[in-house]
Amino acid sequence: LLSWARRSIHDVHVGGHHIPAGTTAYVNMWAITHDEKIWTDPLSFKPERFLPSTGGLDVNIMGSDLRLAPFGSGRRACPGKALGLQTVHTWLARMLHHFEWLPSPDHPVDLTEVLRLSCEMKGPLFAKPIKRNTVRFQ
């Protein structure tokens, strides 16, 4: 997963390497998020790795911590990141509130990943939503 294409406007030296003006450079986010020096067992699904209370890392996803920067960083970061995070939070809360979620008996959950434009599940996730009896306040 490559992101954040940038073109150098001046000749520059980085880490002893000459980068001529006009060179396009990319940040390899896949390599960063799979670096075993930063992430213990990076190929395993471990959401607790982001919970400092369980010994996980305290990672800021808003762009200041490049160990995990899903919205980019700096001046050219995603302008809709705050709205996107709030929208997803609200949408997920409503889905969890209004439905009980059960695994599909015909399709077992498979968390195998595949790298495409982004890191995705190899197969679709099937779940059976059961509508809850919720009370509406007018």
Residues flagged as binding site for heme = 78
Tokens representing 30 are: 């896949």
- Among 79, 49, 46, smallest CA distance to 62 is for 79
Amino acid (1-letter code) at residue 103? P
Q: Which residues are annotated as a binding site?
A: 78
Q: What does the DSSP 8-state code read for residue 135? A: P
- Among 134, 137, 40, smallest CA distance to 93 is for 134
Neighbouring C-beta atoms of residue 69, cutoff 10 Å: 24
Half-sphere exposure of 92 (CA within 13 A, CB side): 6
Burial class (CB in 10 A: 0-12, 13-18, 19+), 78: middle
